[in-house]
Amino acid sequence: MCRLLAYLGSPVSLEPLLYEPEHSLVVQSYQPREMLSGVVNADGFGVGWYHVQRNTEPFTYKNTLPIWNDINLPSLSRYVESGCILSYVRSATAGQALDLSNCQPFQYQRLLFIHNGRIENFRRTLYLPIRQQLNDEIYQWVGGTTDSEHIFALLLSLWQANPGKSLEQTLNATLLKLSEMAQTHQTHASANVIISDGNRLVASRFNTKSPAPSLYWTANEPDFPNAVILASEPLFAGNWTSCPENSIISVGEDCDIRIEQI
């Protein structure tokens, strides 16, 4: 079970999100409070962000080291500034390779994607069924072996097949398809995901078998005015709200929040 973090709002540096809070993402990597499995997130990390002024594809920085061992990230965190940031620390599923191809955020064009959760016995259950759902372009695009990247690939294929659908509608369809396949192949799937195009966040708290992994949101905190933060665990004492299970959370450009049941 990984730990997720996403920020949308007035531009900030990475440091006050990754390092400064008393329960920052760095602290959550070695002392998480609400993980359903595992005890640490020491199998790498990643950060993705969008340029404040230029309309470009997002930037990513990843490493297979534990986040607390990366000597470059503290300096980068003081330098990099963005109004849209996604980050995670990884607790790899047993048997999954520890390499950069399996590090999140995953990127496709302007989209960034992070995932907390798992498909139980993924290689023996939904690996092939999901790949059979992918169009040729997305099939070739997949570079790693994780269930996380394959969930994103399924979403991309559904989106390309239905270009008129919103990101929220496509995520909803992806999770319903995932649930259907999990039932058919007698497995379970949890999918707390956060997706961004740089202008908004679309997230889910989802599990085919309760309880779902934890996910919280907060808005307009004193240190982060005009902003929304989504996180697996609260970063600091504040007005954090637990996202409902089996729901989709949308954060718009004006930081308005909408929550709909799946």
Q: Measured between alpha carbons, how far is 185 from 216 in angstroms, rounded to an integer?
A: 30
Name, in order, each residue with C-beta under 8 angstroms of 49's C-beta and a sequence gap of 6 or more. Answer: 14, 58, 59, 80, 82, 84, 85, 86
Q: Which residues are catalytic?
A: 2
Q: Measured between alpha carbons, how far is 79 from 71 in angstroms, rounded to an integer?
A: 14
Strands 45-49 and 59-63: antiparallel
80 C-beta neighbours (distance < 10 Å), count: 18
Name, in order, each residue with C-beta under 8 angstroms of 105's C-beta and a sequence gap of 6 or more. Answer: 46, 47, 48, 58, 60, 86, 87, 88, 112, 113, 114
